Structures are given as C-alpha cells and as structure tokens.
Structure 1
Amino acid sequence: MALVEIDLYGELMIAAASADEDRLSPDRIDEVLRVEADRSADRSPERSDSANRSTGRTTENAERPETDGPDVG
C-alpha cells in the first residue's frame, strides 16, 4: 500500500513541477490521480466528518476550541 501512495505522490509532484500556476486545481489533482469527484458535495456534513476524522474532531465538537488538559474550575 505504501508503494501505491508513493507512486501517487510522485505523480502529483511531477504535475506540480510542470504546472504554469502556483498550485494545482482540485480538478487537475483529480485528473492526475485518475479519480472523479462530486464537487457538489464539497460542503456536505459527510465530507466534513470524514475530513475531521483525521484530527479526531466531529461536527459535534468541530466548533469548540480544543483544550490541552482537564477542566479546572
């Protein structure tokens, strides 16, 4: 699995190096990675939940500031 990820990363690096603009557009990234994305769902709750899973945050606590320790009070 790691080799596939490295290969995809390499393809993105090649595309970025050959691009005229500063950043690759989401559509160009999808093209390089050979995926089709439904851009109409960019702000859906399901998408934000899946994006927040990597940080351990959900839509329930996404708006609350994170704390480093227990509440003292």
Structure 2
Amino acid sequence: MAPPSTATVPTEQDRVALAEIELCGELIIAASAADGERLSADRIDEVLRVDAKPVDAEPVVTQRAVAESVDTKPVDTERAERC
C-alpha cells in the first residue's frame, strides 16, 4: 500500500515565493549572459518586467505586504488529518 500523500495546497505565500525564485533565476541567467561585470538598472528592470513609473505613482506591493495580507487562521489539524 502506498504511503499517504504529503502534498499540500499551495498558499498565496508559496505562490509569491515561487514567483520570486523564478525572477531570481531570470536575473541569474541574464547576468551570466551579460557582456559586462554588472547588469544596468535598465536591464534589471527589463528582466524583471518592471515598467518605469512616475515619481507620484502608486507604491509597489512588497513581499511583506503580501505576506501580511494572507489569511493566517490556525489550521484545523483534526479536520486536515481526516482529508
């Protein structure tokens, strides 16, 4: 008999972390392909798909803001074990 599945449903924090890992990977690839010693700020923005915004633009949402907005209710472990 196979062991019970240990897979869980990804949380919003998981999705944010995976997106950040993907972006870091893209930066590493861009840096390794660059001719110079460093990537320019414009090239970093291009890799990260960041649009130039005017100074009075809305603030960028940070990982901390996302993490703080995620529902962190305690998990009903008894119910989870029955699933």
Normalising by structure 2, report the TM-score: 0.45
What are the superposed Cα offsets for residues 13-35 of structure 1, whole Å, 9 maximum, x if unpaired? 00000000000000000000111
User: Which of the pair has more CA radius of gyration?
Assistant: 2
**Alignment match, 1:21:** 36
Aligned-pair identity (%): 65
Counterparts in 2 of 1:1-73, with a 5 A limit?
Answer: 1-38=16-53, 41=55
Number of residue equivalences: 42
Secondary structure of the residue that 1:23 maps to in structure 2? Answer: coil
What are the superposed Cα offsets for residues 14-65 of structure 1, whole Å, 9 maximum, x if unpaired? 0000000000000000000111124x75xxxxxxxxxxxxxxxxxxxxxxxx
- Structure 1: any 5+ residue segments left out of the alignment? 42-73
- Structure 2: any 5+ residue segments left out of the alignment? 1-15, 56-83
Identify the structure with bigger relative contact order (alpha carbons < 8 Å, sequence gap 6+): 2
Normalising by structure 1, report the TM-score: 0.51
